[in-house]
């Protein structure tokens, strides 16, 4: 043990990240002492403690080294002595569990999610709880230094529907993302999206887990019949809205939105009374439900900061300019402040594949939506089912600037399947055969158009060519929508996770390459 006191000992503030070379050296030294593999980027010095994440045959461990006694009580785990910077320290470790996550968030605040505000942002859904390091590496690949990243990330994101299919809880999603952030040493902040919430119970469970971004999905309250209803029928639908809850009346609404043109930057829109009635009939109940959900979020979060998104993207009919104006103006009148909003755009946003539609029409419509977002917000336009929509990213980035939020989810699972093709070709073949059988049933709750008859047959294909199935439209959608069935199929589940866990660098490299294509247009 050295005689002089190291510079870092006694400091209270968080030290900067270890330089790459010295971090690798320290990680190797500590790993040798504790007989585990230490993640170099996780090394964190603060308050006379050295924290890091390590991995052994029985999983990942959270480790704390202290210059004096006390780490064992902090972690409630047996302690041992190690040497760091020629100074003896007491070390204790515990599995990277939910209990440990609670403690580490308390001591390392940068691991807590936070609201992102009106920054350009991207949500990175992770159905496996293993993708966050790959997402972070893609950000670094595109932007270079961490502090140069201008696309604010959401790393904890999974819908209640996806939780049900994967058997995960909102807390587990949150904890998995946090451990990924710690593992990669990401200190630039991140959000946590409680995605597609429909009920008060959804809100409560996500608030208890500490989410900071709440995506309200009032799709069940959108009445698509209004698109084709006749005058009398349309009037009756509008008059039947919950006007007391909306704190309004139909005559007042029509008068308010048709009294004078709505000025949208260079665009002046004179709404017709029938357009307003149609918009109300279609979206009025959705607006009311959104207001109810926002009030529940306010109650559940108390004095903790949060932000809200409204999503009506998973509906049958496109959100017109008049309808977006109606939604935005009514939310504003009811005091509902959204950080982002997801209309139903023109064209098709099918799962896991590129945008299907006329790019000129999308550009014209998206520009109008941007004008509404600036006039009644400002708030961001959210691109839901945004995975792999490479054709529209440049348009959205150019027109919206910072007022855009990209939301991805299933594509990280698909890239895990690609990694499986390289790691365990036999398992990949079995998954593909099983997915073919499940697709007719599992597609029911998704908007997809893949045709099993057009899906390439991999029988006879060499191992090195199997991953090409993930580049095929039909193969990609079939594998996308069957994720829940695959992950809950006992003959697959243990082998699937064991393969990715033992070859996590392969998975992270695949994700890095794939998400660079998502992030680069927004750089």
Upper half-sphere CA count for residue 124 (Cβ side, 13 Å): 35
CB crowding 271-309: b at 16 or more within 10 Å, else e: beeebbbbbbbbbbbbbbbbbebbebbeebbeeeebbbb
Q: Determine what percent of the chain is predicted with pLDDT higher than 90.
A: 90
- Out of 309, 350, 388, 442, pick the active-site residue: 309
pLDDT for 72 equals: 52
- Tell which residue, 462, 458, 460, has the closest CA to residue 470: 458
pLDDT for 69 equals: 55
Average pLDDT across the chain, whole number? 95
Mean pLDDT of 216-232: 96
N- to C-terminal Cα distance for the chain?
Answer: 48
- Out of 162, 175, 195, 350, pick the active-site residue: 195
Is the torsion defined by CA of 261, 262, 264, 267 positive or negative?
negative
- Its pTM stands at 0.96
- Helix H, strand E, coil C: the string for 378-409 is CCEEEECCCCCCCCCHHHHHHHHCCCEEEEEC
Whether the per-residue pLDDT at 32 is higher than 70: the answer is yes
Whether the per-residue pLDDT at 297 is higher than 70: the answer is yes
**195 counts as catalytic:** yes
Q: Is residue 472 exposed (0-12), middle (13-18) or buried (19+ Cβ within 10 Å)?
A: middle
| 72, 79 contact by CB (below 8 A) | yes
Whether the per-residue pLDDT at 2 is higher than 50: the answer is no
- Tell which residue, 134, 116, 117, has the closest CA to residue 125: 134
Whether the per-residue pLDDT at 485 is higher than 90: the answer is yes
Residue 406 CB partners (closer than 8 Å, separation 6+): 121, 122, 123, 383, 386, 393, 396, 518, 522
Mean pLDDT of 431-444: 97
Whether the per-residue pLDDT at 358 is higher than 70: the answer is yes
Mean pLDDT of 21-36: 95
- Across the strands, what pairs with 52? 63
Spatial separation of the C-alpha atoms in residues 174 and 156, rounded to whole Å: 5
- Across the strands, what pairs with 59? 56
pLDDT digits (tens, 9 = 90+) for 247-291: 999 999 999 999 999 999 889 999 999 999 999 999 999 999 999
C-alpha distances (whole Å) from 320 to each of 286, 317, 326, 361, 372 are: 15, 9, 10, 13, 11
Mean pLDDT of 346-360: 97
Residue 276 CB partners (closer than 8 Å, separation 6+): 253, 254, 257, 258, 322, 326
- Across the strands, what pairs with 406? 122, 383
Spatial separation of the C-alpha atoms in residues 182 and 111, rounded to whole Å: 7
∠ at Cα 205 (309, 196), nearest 5°?
A: 30
Spatial separation of the C-alpha atoms in residues 119 and 271, rounded to whole Å: 31
């Amino acid at each position: 043990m050295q005689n002089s006191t190291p510079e870092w000992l006694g400091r209270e503030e968080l030290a900067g990240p270890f330089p790459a070379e010295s971090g690798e050296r320290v990680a190797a030294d500590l790993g040798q002492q504790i007989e585990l593999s230490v993640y170099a980027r996780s090394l964190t010095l603060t308050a006379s403690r050295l924290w890091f994440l390590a991995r052994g045959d029985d999983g990942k461990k959270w480790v704390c080294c202290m210059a004096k006694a006390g780490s064992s009580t902090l972690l409630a785990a047996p302690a041992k002595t190690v040497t760091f910077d020629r100074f003896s320290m007491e070390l204790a470790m515990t599995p990277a569990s939910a209990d440990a996550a609670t403690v580490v968030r308390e001591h390392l605040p940068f691991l807590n999610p936070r609201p992102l505000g009106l920054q350009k942002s991207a949500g990175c859904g992770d159905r496996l709880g293993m993708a966050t390091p790959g997402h972070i590496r893609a950000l670094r690949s595109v932007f270079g230094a961490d502090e140069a990243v201008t696309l604010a990330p959401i790393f904890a994101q999974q819908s209640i529907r996806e939780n049900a299919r994967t058997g995960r809880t909102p807390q587990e999603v949150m904890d998995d993302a946090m451990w990924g952030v710690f593992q990669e040493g990401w200190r630039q902040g991140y959000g946590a999206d409680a995605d597609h919430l429909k009920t008060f119970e959804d809100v409560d469970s996500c608030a208890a887990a500490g989410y900071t971004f709440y995506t309200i999905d009032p799709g069940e309250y959108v009445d698509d019949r209004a698109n084709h209803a006749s005058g009398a029928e349309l009037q009756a639908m509008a008059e039947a809205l919950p006007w007391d809850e909306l704190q309004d009346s139909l005559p007042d609404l029509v008068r308010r939105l048709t009294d004078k043109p709505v000025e949208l930057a260079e665009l002046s829109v004179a709404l017709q009374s029938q357009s307003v009635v149609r918009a109300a009939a279609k979206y009025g109940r959705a607006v009311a439900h959104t207001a109810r959900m926002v009030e529940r979020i306010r109650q559940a979060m108390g004095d903790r900061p949060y932000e809200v998104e409204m999503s009506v993207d998973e509906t049958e009919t496109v959100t017109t300019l008049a309808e977006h104006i109606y939604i935005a103006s009514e939310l504003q009148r009811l005091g509902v402040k959204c950080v982002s909003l997801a209309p139903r755009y023109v064209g098709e946003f099918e799962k896991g594949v590129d945008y299907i539609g006329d790019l000129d029409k999308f550009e014209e419509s998206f520009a109008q939506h941007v004008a509404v977002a600036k006039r009644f917000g400002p708030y961001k336009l959210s691109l839901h089912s945004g995975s792999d929509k490479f054709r529209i990213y440049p348009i959205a980035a150019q027109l919206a600037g910072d007022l855009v939020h990209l939301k991805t989810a299933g594509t990280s699972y698909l890239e895990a399947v690609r990694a499986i093709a390289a790691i365990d070709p036999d398992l990949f073949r079995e998954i593909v055969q099983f997915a073919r059988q499940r697709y007719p049933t599992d597609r029911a709750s998704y908007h997809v158009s893949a045709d099993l008859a057009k899906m390439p047959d991999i029988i006879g294909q060499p191992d090195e060519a199997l991953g090409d199935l993930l580049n095929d439209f039909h193969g990609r959608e079939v594998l996308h929508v069957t994720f829940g069935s695959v992950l809950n199929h006992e003959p697959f589940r243990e082998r699937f996770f064991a393969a990715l866990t033992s070859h996590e660098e392969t998975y992270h490299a695949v994700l890095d390459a794939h998400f660079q294509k998502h992030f680069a247009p927004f750089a």
